[in-house]
Each structure stands twice: as structure tokens, then as C-alpha cells.
Structure 1
Amino acid sequence: MSGVFTLKPPLVQKPEDLLAAGQSLSATPSPLDNSLAVFTTPASSSQSARRPPDEEQPVYFAGSDAVPSYERRLFITDTLVIFAAFQNLLKTSRSKDPEWIHNERNLTVMRKLAIDYVNFIKECWIHASQPAPRPDGPLQYSADHYRSLYTCFSLFVVLYLPEPGYEEAPVGEELMEWLNIHFIEPSTEEGDHLSSLKNPWEDETFWPYLTRATLRGLSKASVFFLKMLSGHPSEDLQHLAETMASIISSQPRLQNFTAERDFAYASRRWKDKVKALRVEMEQVLEADRFDDFDNWWDRFSDIVGILEGRAEIVQRVCEELGADWKEVCAAWGVFVDARFRRQDIPDVVDRILDEMPPDPTNVEDMVHTALFTGKAVDALAHASQLDRWLAAHLADIMEPLSLISVDSQDEIPVRDLHVLAYAEYLHSDPALWRITVDYMFSCGDVGKERGDEVLVRVPLRLNDKSATAPVEGEGRIRAGNVVGVLKDVNQTCFDYQREGARRTICRIAAQTLVHEKNYGLAVSYCSSAEDWQGLGRIVDRVLDEYITSGPARFAQYASDIAPSLQNLNIRHPSSSAVFVHRLMFAVRYSNFQQLRIKHELQSAALDLVAMFRDDVVPKSWWAVTLYDAVELLQYRSALLFSAAGAAELLAKLEEIFVRTSQGSGGDYLDILARTIAGGGYKEALDRLKTVRLALARYFARSAVLSI
């Protein structure tokens, strides 16, 4: 993350004040979102030592993006549905046909999804336009902001996503329709005002209104006010207005023709009628071209010039009416060149812009300019300034249409650059992690790596007991179903085949569960992550419970990991053998302790000998396990061990003494020594001597009873 952050209130008034105090400014990125923690630190270690330990230091949390509010979240989450549908279309279509983009059905679906974006933006604009007070709180983005998104996205659809089969069709009427929808002129209020007048031509706004209505192709409004001129004192104007009304109402529309050739022929015939009207106008005497308020002939001539398609008149009239280059371009396609096509637009617009440049301070207008002139990369750059949402979703559609480069020399293609920028904005809200990774994972290897980093840092909330009761939650997880956030994260990893991230998340979950002493679930997640070293550490933690908490608590904890033992043997028979062996000891040793606690001593004795015979007991635990046998050896009511079993114990005991005398006592005595408060190897050997004594007495009793 890069950029300049302005802290409010400022941490220091002047940078030199910070230097004079021997301090520097440090920042740490948040692992949760895209914010920074900013704080002062000593410029040197010696100054750090002189700082009082209890001195408070302010910490500022700075971010380049405001966390999306309620209304913005709705916009983000609802448009994700369209984005996901578009990604699915690309995935399925590309897998079936390398030339999928030329398939009419695919283009139809793309156009529909783009129109879905437009319609949803429109709904948001209408919603944001509702008067205050608002039940969902103040708006984060104004209604005008959504209006700008609406104009830009709908223009993109008009220019670059025509209906299949109409790519080469004239586009003037579509441009005019777009202009009339988004930039309404003349206003309804002006029309209502003029229609209420008895002699509307006496109002100074009459001719500008009639000219604008004609320019915009609003034939009904134009004809209505032309017919009102039947009451004008000039009989010439009355006649001319009647003729013009007939001409305007009969102007050919492309949508009314099944073949472009027929439309072109009708347009030429219609232009002949306009020429005839011009001839008729020229016959009006100069003295008769005025009324008491204006030069009606000049005003009327401008309208006829528009109908004639005279480019210089169209542009001059637009300038006089306060219109911009967009209106000239739309009128060009309706009046100047009836066969005006999409590929003709950039050349015409460039010519218009020489005389009527766009407003460089208006980002919306700059997006329009770039789209009209066919500069897709520039359009995305300006769209990013307006809203990164707009740039991301335009780029997402532009790439398959080959409007932007796919095989970019840059590390990140243009499309991915804008989608990742939008995803970074989403990352300002940790709660939107699902949506964030949806966008990131659509962006090649770089996006997948970033998505993994987000996933592994999602708070799993394993300690949150509010969602489900502990027993229910643990039971569901043991059954193979994780719950809550962890379930969602795992599912996301599966959906996008992010196995590495999934294993990391399982390891993180296991570490958290170990901290909570939920060893059974921790083993399950280590197994899922195939983290065998982590599994070994968990088993060591469980065995440590014997030392720190005693046999009863150890047996309780170890019993929780027992169900995982069988699954490990089935799913990972070889790769985890060493760690499973250690896990097996923990489980069997806990069973032995439970038998002792329940006073099922005969079974406990058999289990103890079986552990040694099966070579389950690690050498480091021989001494502890043998010391546990003292109680069983001293049992008065019966002999619990067979002669062979007692001999097995004696052999293990003698090996410990021999190896200890040879300097390898640490391999056998460390754990037993840890069970003795303040004890060492000497104390551990003393305890083993009691085992030797108990065995000697056991053999003596056995010999006596056998006589």
C-alpha cells in the first residue's frame, strides 16, 4: 500500500519538531485490513532506554479508504452476483470453444449482464436520491456519484456491446437516446411554462426550447410547439411551421426498418423534403422575416439547418444553447450522417473536440471522452478516479472484448490491475473478505497470492461461543463439518482450489485450539493440513499434561484425540507413520490411566505389558510408565502380571540402569525427572529403584504362591 496519509489531528505540527525530540515516525501494516498503525519511536536505542516505561504514546490508525457504509455495502454485495455470473460465463465458454467471443449467444449473455450492471446502478441512484431522513443513515456516496456511474456504464454498453448482428448498424439514434436519458434538455418545466402561454413565441425561451427539442429528436414536443405557431401573425411562418411539423413527424427511424438499405433510402427521400423547405424559406422577403420580438426567420433557419445535417450549424447551435461536445456527436449521428457507425465515432469526436474540448476537471466527462474516442485504457484510468468499482467492472468486460491488452508486458495486466485496486479498497473492511478474495482470485497468479494472504488472516473466531453451544460445535467438527467462519474460509479454499492456503488455515486453527487445550480438534486440523510436525507438537503438549496436570486430566485430554487415530491410519498410512506412532502411545497410555482410575487393575496391567511388547512406548517414557506399574505390582489381592509380563518390565528397567551407567540417562530419565518437584536424574533413579524392589517382591510372591 502506498500513498500519503494525513493524520487528524496531526501527530506533530512540524517534522523538525520530531527530529528535535530525537524521534522518528514508524508505521505497521494491519494484518486484518489495508490500514496502517502510525506511531513515534525513538531515533536511537539509547533514547529508548531513557524513555519512562509507563509513558503513553499515541497510535494513529490511518487508511486510504473509508470502510463501506450500509448503502455502499449493498451496492458491493449485489453487484458481486453479476460479477460472479460473468466469471462463470467466461470460464465455461472458454473451456468449450476458443472462439467463444464470436458466438452470438455468448455476446447476448455478456450484453445482458452489462445491462444488469446498468439497471442496478440506476436503482442505487434512485435510492440515493430519496430525501432525508434516511432509515439506513447518511449516504457515503451521493446520488450524483451513482448518476455518474450510471451514465458511464450505460455509454459503454451503447458503444461497445450492441445487440449481436447490429455491430455495423448506424448508432446515432442510440447515442441520442443515451443523451436524452442521462442529460435531460430542454427541461420539462420549460415546456410546461411555454405551453401555458397564449402566444409562446413572445417568450424569450421559445425558440431555444424549440431548437433544443428538435436537436434532441423530441419530435412530439417539436411538433406541438410548431403547431402553436399557427396563431403567429406571420402567414409565412404559419405555413413553414406546418410543413416543418410534417417533416419532423415523418423523420425515418432505424428501428422501424428491417433493412439498413431501406432506412438509408428513406433518409435520402426525407432530406429532399428538408431541401424543399429550405427553398421555400428563401422565398420569404427580408422585410417579412421579423415579428415584434425576434427574427423568426433566422431562428427557423437554424432548425432547418439542423434537419439538413449541416455540421457547422449543428455545432454553432449547440454552443449557443450551452450544450457540450456529446450533444454535437449525438446530433451528428441523427442529422449529419444517418449511417454514422461506431467505427466512425472516434474520428468525428476528435474533430468536434478541437472546437469544443471536454472539461478536464470533470472526471465523468473525461470518462465519456475516452469511451467516445476508443481509448479504453484512458477510460479506465479516469474511471478509477471516479470510482474503483467502475474501473474494475469495465475492465472485466473490456478484456474479453479485446479492448485492452491481455498479453501485457507489465507484471500485472490492465484488467487485473484495476480489479485488484478495487479488491484492495474492499479490504478496508475485514468483514468483506469473501468478496475481496472473489475479485482477487480472478486476477491470475498475483491475485491468487494476494487472495491467499487475505484468507490466512481472516479471524477464525474459534473461541466465539455465541454461535453454537460448545458440545454441538465440537460434535459437528468431529463429524467432519467445521462451523462458522472457519467453514466459510475452508469452503472458499475448496472453491478456488487454494490447497496451500487451506492447509495454512488449518494449521492456524490447530494452533488456536491447542492454546485452548482442545487437542482433539487440533489433531483433526493438523491431519487435514498434513502438518505432521505440528501433530507431533500437539502430542507432546498432550503428554505434557501428564506432567503438569496429573494422570486424570491427561487421560481426559488424550481421549479427545483418540478418534483421530483411526482416520490417520486410513488416510495417511505411511507419510505420518512416525507421528502416528507417538499419537498411538498417547492414546493407549491414556487408556491405561483411565483403567487405573476406574480400578480395573487387571486390565490396566495387561495393557501396560502390551504397550511394551508392541513397542508403543517411546524410550523417553519408559521410566514414567514403569513407575506407574508399582501400584499394580504391590496389589495384595491378586497377582496382576504373568511371569512373562513381569519379566518384560524387568528387562526394560535393567536397560534403563545399564544405559544410564553408560552416560545415556537423558534419553530415559528426563520426563520422569520432570514429574519430581526439584528433582533430577538421581531422584529419578531412586524412584526406579522402588520399581526394582516392587518387582523383586512380586517375583517372591509369585514363587511362594506357586509352591
Structure 2
Amino acid sequence: MTRTERIGASEESVVPAIVESGEFSELVDEGQTISLAQSPLDGSLGIFVVPTHTAEDPTKAHSTRLNEEQPIYFVNQHTPPSAERRMFLADTFAIFSALRKLVTAPEFQSTTSLGEDRRVAYVRKLAIDFVNFIKECWIHASRPVARPGGPLQFSSDHYRSLYTCFSLFVVLFIPEEGYANAPVGDELMEWQNTHFIEPSTEEGDQLSGLEKPWEDDTFWPYLTRAIIRGLNKASTFFLSVLSGHPSEEIQHLTETLISLIQSQPRLDNFSSEKEFALSTRRWKDKVQALRIGLDRVPESKRFDGFENWWERLSDIVGVLEGRGDVLKRVCEEQGGDWKEVCVAWGIFVDPRMRRDDLFETAKDIIAEMPSDPTNLEDNIHAAMFSGQFEETLHSSSQLDLWLSAHLSEFMGATGLLQVKEDADLSPRDFHILEYAEYVYCDHALWHITIEYMYSCGEIGKSRGDQILERVPLRFFQQTSDHATAERIRSGDVVGVLKEVNEACLQHRREGVRRTVCKIAARNFVQEKNYGLAASYCTSAEDWSGLGHIVDHVLEEYVQGSAFFVEHASSIAPLVQKLSTQPNLSGVFYYRLIFVTRFARLQGLLRRKEYADAASDLVAIVREDMAPASWWAVVLYDSIPLLDYEPKLLFSSSEASLLLRKLEDISIKTSQGAGLEYLNVLSRRVHVKEQADLLKELKLVRLALARYFARCAVLDG
């Protein structure tokens, strides 16, 4: 029985509960406790009940619970991404990679190669790529279409929140080249009207269809908000409607107001900020003149029977005058929030407000009109408007770890984050690693995970190493395809192993590459692909591993495998390759030489090329190639060569050499080293007793005796 549940960062919850609340002490009294193990594949946890076996009372370990079927719960801090979410992560990773390549380039880091504005311009282009991509995802998620995999893992509203947050970050902190110290009001107004449309188009359509729209309760609120939002077309249209108002005073005043709204200076219309400031002062003088005219309207004419139009118009003029108290009150009355006040502040109250000025202004406004504590998106906006970068990242991580990671990357690229000298992790690295751990829960995205980790200093590199060492290499899945299997067996590195190899080389993780090669070698040994296993051991400079592979190949001979010669031949090319290796241990190299020469001997015997076989056998003995445990086997294989007729295959001196080696084995055995010298022969001929093994060796002695007898006869 297994269960998978999403768990929080500080508390694990599984359903149904392993132990009910408040009953853990009873579980301990029964001699059990709860344990867990982490999967190296995706970081998930396996939670289960285990016995404690306490020394004080061993009987407690014999609980009746142990006789029951105990479930194992598989839990993960993060929900693995769905197919569409995975696509989102992978596609945005491409932009992240481009940004990393940019910020790590020497010319970007040089203070002389590029000016600050130029650097920001390059970063801005990639940030806008992020914004445009998130927008496309939001539009895609908003389409009411049937999806094969069911509902989206993240709603369209979630992607809309990412869109508003990232685009606001670009507006505030990555301005266009040359606009870093320019007034920010117009840019913020464009951002607000793009993402938070007020007043609604439906309200305008409804009012425009009325004969006397000023008699509708929504008319003045709509008109006021349209003016605050800078919607000049809608504002002038409904102001012109007032030409039919029964009050002559309002008709005259609105004509002037229309002219003011249409002529309000915008920074983009001027070649310099100085001209913009001069034009704004002149425009403010005209607004002041309108105020004077408005104040001259008699009290008796300020009410039209439906509304006190004078108060409504006075509020509008107060906003145009730049009176902050009026702006705050009007926005609050009409359901606007702190964002609307902050943005309008840069249009009407302080048209020359720069980004640094905005941060202080926003803090004061938010203190009076707090952001919604239950709305993460609103909290992120508030933190950005206030210039609080760490708070921005904290709230962003609660909304989506993707957002906090990529915001921190751009903050790091533009120098917005302060790094403490004594900190183990910078804020940027902390949020990148948090996101990488989330991506890690989907093991199919390992190549993305390590890219984020390796960008985070030594701690990130250490974590990335652990991921690479645990990537499933999937050899057996790959080799299910015949063509791919042949490529692997011919030494072509393909599939996941090739990707891991390339990742190690790209990030200069030589130690990890060698570890992965060792893992690959063990996998190929299991498949009895000894040639490729030996190749990977050589690549990892794992000489002891190479020795084990030689042992495996020799074991094939001991077990009587018909493929021993083929297996040994697959590792034979390494002999020449390793002959020039400076740091190779001689023991393992000579073992490798022996197995290849011994396999050649067996091949010659199999093909009945006895003359060459005899020559090889003598060479093995003369050059002392064989390990001590294999001397007896080599001599045992000489019997058919010694008995071969009609001609002699050995010279007298060569036969004497074999006899001396046989005598050495007999002497060593008599001195108590029989296990060392006869063990392999014992397994090869399936004889266990030493006395019986010595009898087997007597067959070699007998063959040598017959051989010497034949030599004597031929000489005579």
C-alpha cells in the first residue's frame, strides 16, 4: 500500500495518518517509531514504521503492529510538474541560459567594455523575452479548450500573476537605455492599464447608450476614474456629453477641462525633460485658472437635481492640480487601491517622479492603504513599488518558486541584491537553489536542474554533482532498440550517458565524470558487455575496477562459458592503448595482458591450431604472465598439446620449462599454499579436495613424461 501526498516545507502530512495526533508516545511504547529515507532520484521521501528494538526492554519490539501490513508513504515537498508545466520550465530555461551566458561573458563583467546603460539594455531584452513568453502561456491557459491530460496544473490566473509581476519588475528596475533617471509615471500608467483595466469597457458602453448619462449613478465615478487612468478618449467623450447638461456653468467648465485633458504634457512628446517640466508648469497654471472659475460658481447652481456636479468636478480638478489628499480619497471611494494612487501620483502629483522617489512615496501610501495580506500578487507588487528586493523574492517564492528564482537572477545581473560577506549563500543563489530543488522532483528535467545548481557557487556545484551521479542511465531501455544496442556495443556513447558525459565536460566536473563512468562500467558488466565496461573504467582511470572486469571475464572461462574468447577479445584493444598510460598500476595492466593472451590461447585450441597454441602457452609461462592461481590451469591446458601426434609441438627446453613450473606448484602446495595455487583449477574441473587436485596435476606430469619419452625415441 502506498500513498503520495504533497507536503509542506516544515511539516509532513500523510493521509490516512500513520499515527493519530497525540498517539505517537503509544507507538514508541509498542517498540516502534517512524523513519524515512530519501530517494536519490527525485528527492521524494519514503515514510514508514520501523521497530526500535530498545535495549531496556527487547520485548517491546514484538508488537502486534509488526504482524500487520504496514504501508509505505511516498511524499514530496513539491508536486511534480505536469506535461504543460514541464514545457513551461524547459522553454524559460532557454532564456535563463542566454542570460547566464551574457552575464558571465568577460565583456559584460568589464567596467570598460560596456557602459552601465548598455549592460542594462542587453539584460532588458532577455527580460522582455520572459515577459512575452509568460504572456503567451497566460493566453494559452485562458483558452476554453478540452485538454487531453485534464485541467492545467496551474490556472490561467496563476500565469496572469506571473505576467503582471515580471512586467512590473522590468518597468521599475530594467528601464530602456537612457531612461534610468527619467520620470516613471507614464510607464507605470501603461503597465497598470495593461494589467488592471478600470473602468470597464462594459460600463462605458452602458453609459454611452443613455440619453442623459449624468443622471446615472455610475457616470461621475466612471468619468473620474477614466481621467485618473489617463484614458483621454473616454474622458473627452463623456465630458463632451455634458454639453447637453442643463447647467450653463458646467458646459463652460467642461469645455476648458476637455482642452486641459487633451493637452496634458507627456514625457514621450518632448525631446528633453527640461522641456517637459516647463510645459507641465504651464499646464498646471491653466488647471489653476480652471479652479478659480470653478470656485466662482454660486452655491445655488452646484446641484442639478440628481447630483452635486460641482463636488464631482471639484474632485477631478483637485486630481489635476496634483493634490495628494484628494487623489487618495477619490481612489479609495471608487474602490481603487494603493497601486492606483502610486501610479496616478507620478502623473498628477509629481510628474517628474523618478524610480528612487517612487520607492519612498509608495512606502508612505502603502502605510495608509495597505496591500492585501491574503493576495501574494498584491504583496509582490507592493514590495517592488517600495524597492524591497528581499521581500519581493520572499513573496514571489510563495507564489511560484519559478518567479523568485528568475527575478533573483535578473536582480543579480543588474546589481540590485546586496551580498553579505559572511553569508554562505547569496540571496540570488538561495532562490535559484530553492527552484532547482523543485525542478529536481521531476527526474526527467535533471539537465535543467544541474544548470541552475552549477550557477550557484561551490554549494550549488556540490548539489549538482550529486544529481549528475544519480541520473538514471537507462542502458537496458536504450538497448531494447537493436540499432542503438549495436552502437553502444561498438563503443558509441548514446542516450542519457552521452548527455551526462557532455554535462560533466561542459561544467568541468572531472571527478563526477569519472564517477559516472564507473557507474556505467558496472551497468555494462551486468550486461556482460565487458569491452565497453573496460573502456569506461579506463576513461575513469579506475584501475581496480578494470581488475574486477578482468576477473569477471576470467570467471566466464571458469564457468565454462562458450563466449569467453569473445568477451576477452572485446577488451584486448585496451592493451595497446594502456601501454603508454603513465599512472597505470602494473598489477592490473599485467592481469589485462594475461586475460587477452590466455583467451588467444583458448581460441587457437578451439580452432585446433595447435602449433600456435603451443607457442602461446610457452610464452605465457616463460614471461610469467599468469597470476599464481592460474598457473595450474595453464599447465592443465597443455595436456592435449603435449599428447599431440604425429609431431612434437614443444622443444626439450620448452617442455623442461613446463616441468619446472609444475614443480614450483607442487612445492608451494606442500608448503601449505595449495588454496592459492589450486583454487581456480578446483572450480574449473569441479574437484574440491586438494589430494584429488594433485592427481589432476599428475596428468600433466604424466603427459610431460610421455613427451620426454617421445623426445628420447626421436633423438635415438
The two structures share one fold, judged by TM-score above 0.5:
yes
- Do the aligned partners of 1:101 and 1:107 also contact (CA within 8 Å) in 2? no
Matches of 1:14 and 1:83, distance apart in 2: 45
Q: What are the within-5 Å matches in structure 2 for residues 651-662 of structure 1?
A: 651-662=660-671
105-114 vs 680-689, which moves further: 680-689
- How far the C-alpha of 1:642 sits from its partner, in A, is 2.0
- Do the aligned partners of 2:530 and 2:567 also contact (CA within 8 Å) in 1? yes
Q: What are the within-5 Å matches in structure 2 for residues 515-594 of structure 1?
A: 515-550=526-561, 552-570=562-580, 572-594=581-603
Counterpart position of 1:145: 158
Counterpart position of 1:633: 642
- Relative distance call for 1:154 and 1:103 in structure 2 (3 A) is same
Q: What are the within-5 Å matches in structure 2 for residues 299-698 of structure 1?
A: 299-465=312-478, 468-469=481-482, 472-473=483-484, 475-477=486-488, 480-550=491-561, 552-570=562-580, 572-698=581-707
1:195-216 deviation line (CA, Å, top 9, x unaligned): 1111111111000000000001
- How far the C-alpha of 1:407 sits from its partner, in A, is 4.4
Alignment-mate amino acid for residue 576 of structure 2: Q
Q: Which runs of 5+ in 2 are unaligned?
A: 1-7
Matches of 2:687 and 2:620, distance apart in 1: 29
Structure 1 residue 7 corresponds to structure 2 residue 18: no
Matches of 1:31 and 1:617, distance apart in 2: 42
Counterpart position of 2:4: none
- Do the aligned partners of 1:168 and 1:341 also contact (CA within 8 Å) in 2? yes
- Do the aligned partners of 1:100 and 1:106 also contact (CA within 8 Å) in 2? no
> What is the DSSP-based 3-state SS (H/G/I as helix, E as strand, rest coil) of the residue aligned with 2:69?
coil
- Do the aligned partners of 1:674 and 1:680 also contact (CA within 8 Å) in 2? no
- Do the aligned partners of 1:22 and 1:43 also contact (CA within 8 Å) in 2? yes
- Do the aligned partners of 2:366 and 2:382 also contact (CA within 8 Å) in 1? no
Alignment-mate amino acid for residue 528 of structure 2: K
Matches of 2:710 and 2:419, distance apart in 1: 88
Alignment-mate amino acid for residue 530 of structure 2: Y
- How far the C-alpha of 1:136 sits from its partner, in A, is 4.5
- How far the C-alpha of 1:275 sits from its partner, in A, is 1.0
- Do the aligned partners of 1:670 and 1:681 also contact (CA within 8 Å) in 2? no
- Relative distance call for 1:136 and 1:659 in structure 2 (3 A) is closer
Alignment-mate amino acid for residue 547 of structure 2: G
- Do the aligned partners of 1:172 and 1:331 also contact (CA within 8 Å) in 2? yes
- Do the aligned partners of 2:687 and 2:693 also contact (CA within 8 Å) in 1? no
336-345 vs 36-45, which moves further: 36-45
1:78-102 deviation line (CA, Å, top 9, x unaligned): 1001000000001114676256674
- Do the aligned partners of 2:478 and 2:495 also contact (CA within 8 Å) in 1? no
Matches of 2:131 and 2:61, distance apart in 1: 57
- Do the aligned partners of 1:101 and 1:401 also contact (CA within 8 Å) in 2? no
- Do the aligned partners of 2:226 and 2:234 also contact (CA within 8 Å) in 1? yes
- How far the C-alpha of 1:584 sits from its partner, in A, is 1.1
- Relative distance call for 1:395 and 1:539 in structure 2 (3 A) is same
> What is the DSSP-based 3-state SS (H/G/I as helix, E as strand, rest coil) of the residue aligned with 2:649?
coil
Alignment-mate amino acid for residue 388 of structure 2: K
Q: CA RMSD in A?
A: 1.9
Matches of 1:241 and 1:261, distance apart in 2: 30
Structure 1 residue 184 corresponds to structure 2 residue 197: yes
429-438 vs 656-665, which moves further: 656-665
- Relative distance call for 1:467 and 1:150 in structure 2 (3 A) is farther
- Do the aligned partners of 1:673 and 1:683 also contact (CA within 8 Å) in 2? no
Matches of 2:618 and 2:87, distance apart in 1: 66
- How far the C-alpha of 1:354 sits from its partner, in A, is 2.4
1:416-473 deviation line (CA, Å, top 9, x unaligned): 110000011111111111111111111111111111111111111111256631xx44
The two structures have a TM-score, normalised by structure 1, of: 0.96
Counterpart position of 2:3: none
> What is the DSSP-based 3-state SS (H/G/I as helix, E as strand, rest coil) of the residue aligned with 1:418?
helix
Counterpart position of 1:259: 272
- Do the aligned partners of 2:479 and 2:485 also contact (CA within 8 Å) in 1? no
- Relative distance call for 1:556 and 1:620 in structure 2 (3 A) is same
- Do the aligned partners of 1:399 and 1:406 also contact (CA within 8 Å) in 2? no
- Relative distance call for 1:157 and 1:291 in structure 2 (3 A) is same
- How far the C-alpha of 1:540 sits from its partner, in A, is 1.0
Matches of 1:372 and 1:578, distance apart in 2: 70
Alignment-mate amino acid for residue 541 of structure 1: H
- Do the aligned partners of 1:3 and 1:64 also contact (CA within 8 Å) in 2? no
607-616 vs 249-258, which moves further: 607-616
1:106-159 deviation line (CA, Å, top 9, x unaligned): 321100111111111111111111124224421111111111111111111111
Q: What are the within-5 Å matches in structure 2 for residues 110-125 of structure 1?
A: 110-125=123-138
> What is the DSSP-based 3-state SS (H/G/I as helix, E as strand, rest coil) of the residue aligned with 1:290?
coil
- How far the C-alpha of 1:347 sits from its partner, in A, is 1.4
Matches of 1:147 and 1:465, distance apart in 2: 41
The two structures have a TM-score, normalised by structure 2, of: 0.95
Alignment-mate amino acid for residue 430 of structure 1: H
Counterpart position of 2:51: 42
Counterpart position of 1:22: 31
Q: After TM superposition, where is structure 1 displaced by more than 6 Å over at least 4 residues in a row? A: 49-54
- How far the C-alpha of 1:651 sits from its partner, in A, is 1.9
- Do the aligned partners of 2:102 and 2:108 also contact (CA within 8 Å) in 1? no
Matches of 1:96 and 1:378, distance apart in 2: 27
1:147-186 deviation line (CA, Å, top 9, x unaligned): 1111111111111100121111000111111111111100
Alignment-mate amino acid for residue 412 of structure 2: E
- Do the aligned partners of 1:71 and 1:136 also contact (CA within 8 Å) in 2? no
1:8-30 deviation line (CA, Å, top 9, x unaligned): 12223345253454321111111
Matches of 1:490 and 1:680, distance apart in 2: 49
- Do the aligned partners of 1:460 and 1:486 also contact (CA within 8 Å) in 2? yes
- Do the aligned partners of 1:126 and 1:143 also contact (CA within 8 Å) in 2? yes
- How far the C-alpha of 1:560 sits from its partner, in A, is 2.0
Matches of 1:50 and 1:589, distance apart in 2: 59
Matches of 1:104 and 1:481, distance apart in 2: 48
